[in-house]
A and B are shown apart, each in its own frame.
Chain A
Amino acid sequence: MQLGENVRLAVSGLLDHKFRSFLTMLGIIFGVASVIAMLSIGEGAKREAIAKYQDLGIKNIIIREKSLSDTELEEVRAKFSPGLTIQDAEVIEEIVPGIVRVALQAEINSEVKFYDKSVKSTVIGVSPDFLSMMNYQLQNGDMINQKQYDQRHKICVLGAGVANSLFKNEDPVGKMVKIEDQWLEIVGVLESKTLFTETVGELAARDLNTDVYLPLSTFLNRFPRENILANEIQQITVQVENSNNLVEASKLINEIIKRHHFNNDDYGIVIPYELLKQEEKERQIYNFLLGAIAAISLIVGGIGIMNIMLATVMERTREIGIRRAIGARKVDIMSQFVTEAVAISITGGIIGVFLGITLSLSVSLFTDVNTYIRLYSVVLAFAFSVIVGIAFGYLPAKNAANLKPVDSIRYE
């Protein structure tokens, strides 16, 4: 018998028992929907993590001071730790192999003023490569160049948020702003950056758009430390050639700084790429669990189909007998019932795909969880529903085909 005939039969069979068919599909619907929703949530989390760590640089090792109270600071100084210094950075660059470049930063929290307006800001003195090393993009003007650095120019580059707060309709480039008691000329404005929402090691969550960058040389010269015990610089960022060397390089760096700081634990090392990998691993376990739950619900859905198909075969024993008497072969009966099971699971699969997409979109719409639907997840979930239909329709169909015509035609 032709496939078209089977499909027509199966569809009319479904329509004859709409409510029953719908109930039978529920397992598949929820299974498929949960696979799609789950994978989209996982994918959203993955993309968010990648974006976050990309901002920190996936070939970077970040060495940052620990934030210590005044008494703790006195304690580590008493134990001879000089704190994080430019010299630390120089030694690292000299000793550790495979380093592309090293960037330094020193920071104060202050206010940036322009006429009567002022905005709270993290003022950061950086070495010349820092901005390009961190992949910061300009929306206007220029980055800090080597000459400005060497000659300790009084210039700065504004984060997008600072520029927006101080300058409404004017071009900030060329204007002068005042920080503490220093006047600085604005040479560039950065593109807006996504919020750094999570604290990672010693890196506190903050809004990068409120940063103001100036040459480290100018910074050290013009902004004296409030506390004489404070570290000379707050952060050293090391970029390596090959991300495979990250762990080894960071071990070496740790050895160097530990010795310099006389075993004082006053700094922390963050390797964004390693954190990304670790997070990925954790997410994998989580994804596996969710996948198992989704798979179980698909299997339960399949069992539901099998149950109904067994009942249907029973109920239609007479029909099977009649069909056999007028010439249906076993394979005809078999394919008729498998087609029916697959029709149930495909219909359930289609409804499940729509439900899953709706679920995923509403999750990203109504919560702060990001979701991202990838085509493969839809195809995978749908294919799985078809396979479930075939697998769980097979046994009832085989039972139907193996009924003896002489018995089934007399079945009441």
Chain B
Amino acid sequence: MLISIQNLTKSYALGDTDIPVLHGIDLEIEKNEYVAIMGPSGSGKSTLMNIFGLLDNPSTGEYYFNGINVSGLDDDSLSGMRNKEIGFIFQNFNLLPRINALQNVELPLVYAGATASERRERALSALDRVGLTDRIHHKPSELSGGQKQRVAIARALVTNPGILLADEPTGALDSKTGVDIMRLFDELHKEGNTIILITHEQQIANYAYRIIHILDGIIHSDVPNNNKRNNF
């Protein structure tokens, strides 16, 4: 079991009152699953994604990642796990604007303490994997949306993480480029990666093998996707 969540709740303090966002989530995700989490805005899916990604702590409940209870970990250990086990892919790419594509991809390895030559080698191979071999010395502002998202995916892949967390990865892309990115996810899944895809679009969610609907902070449905989309 890669991810196991038991009775997880999350609420935010707003003044004196607590605003509950997640009310008791139970969820298990196996290695090499391809899961889409769906829900309208305000449903709590982004909060769940932040908790998956160890960016945020649950208020109550248990979260086991690879058998480790992460609620007991200190900040440095969480940083280490984000570095080695989690690959984030964001809607707005979140690349650092002042450094070029290659340096962006190398960045997680810098924090992992890899040597310069090792970083270079692994970053190049990750960029190669996402189909970006030219323009790697360009800054993000000089890249197209699709290219930026490929750089971001390469950055997520470069440490060989246990899980890829993609938050609306096609949200800022035109539909054709979006489909290209979804094909890349399909390939990465076939190569053995575990993928959690957060989206509010049914079209995009249909690329996954399992679809979880979140509504008002609880799991509304959790079913295998019988209409897995394969047309790219």
Contact = CB atoms under 8 A, between A and B. Distances in A.
B111 A327 contact: yes
Given A327-B83, A327-B112, A332-B111, A406 B155 contact: no
Nearest to B90: A409
Interface residues of A, number: 24
Nearest to A5: B110
B60 interface: no
Nearest to A405: B55
Contacts of A48: none
B79 A322 contact: no
Interface in A326-375: 326-332
Contact of A328 (B50, B53, B79, B94): B79
Contacts of B29: none
Interface in B80-112: 80, 82-84, 88, 90, 94-96, 98, 107-108, 110-112
B56 interface: yes
B137 to A, nearest CB: 15
A29 to B, nearest CB: 26
Interface residues of B, number: 25
B55 A409 contact: yes
A227 B113 CA distance: 95
B55 A322 contact: no
A321 B55 CA distance: 9
Interface of chain A, main secondary structure? helix
Contacts of B55: 324-325, 405-406, 409
Given A326-B83, A327-B82, A409 B94 contact: yes
A323 B88 contact: no
Contacts of A404: 56
A132 B142 CA distance: 84
B76 interface: yes
A1 interface: yes
Contacts of B111: 1, 323, 326-329, 332
Given A5-B110, A16-B98, A325 B80 contact: no
Interface string A310-329: 00000000110111111111
B196 to A, nearest CB: 15
B93 to A, nearest CB: 10
Interface of chain B, main secondary structure? helix
A329 B88 contact: no
A12 interface: yes
A321 B95 CA distance: 11
Contacts of A2: 110, 113
B75 interface: yes
Contacts, number: 64
Contacts of A16: 98
Interface string B6-30: 0000000000000000000000000
Contact of B94 (A5, A13, A318, A332): A318
A403 to B, nearest CB: 12
Given A5-B110, A406-B50, A409-B55, A327 B79 contact: yes
A334 to B, nearest CB: 12
Given A12-B98, A322-B94, A322-B96, A329 B108 contact: no
Given A1-B111, A5-B110, A406-B50, A327 B88 contact: no
Contacts of A324: 55, 79, 82
A330 B96 contact: no
Contacts of A326: 82-83, 88, 107-108, 111, 155
A13 B98 CA distance: 9
Nearest to A321: B94
Contacts of A321: 94
Interface in A132-171: none
A319 B88 CA distance: 14
Interface string B113-156: 10000000000000000000000000000000000000000010
A384 to B, nearest CB: 31
Contact of B56 (A319, A328, A332, A406): A406
Given A1-B110, A409-B55, A329 B94 contact: no
A164 B129 CA distance: 91
Contacts of B110: 1-2, 5
Contacts of A323: 96, 107, 111
A327 B84 contact: yes
Contacts of A406: 50, 55-56
Contacts of A328: 79, 83, 111
A233 B76 CA distance: 88
A326 B111 CA distance: 8
B98 A327 contact: no
A324 B82 CA distance: 8
11 contacts: A318-B94, A319-B96, A322-B95, A324-B55, A326-B107, A327-B79, A327-B108, A327-B159, A329-B111, A330-B75, A409-B55
Q: What 7 A-B pairs have minimum CB-CB distances, sorted nearest first?
A: A327-B83, A327-B111, A406-B55, A329-B79, A406-B56, A326-B108, A405-B55
Given A16-B98, A325-B88, A327-B80, 5 more contacts: A1-B110, A326-B88, A326-B111, A327-B108, A332-B111
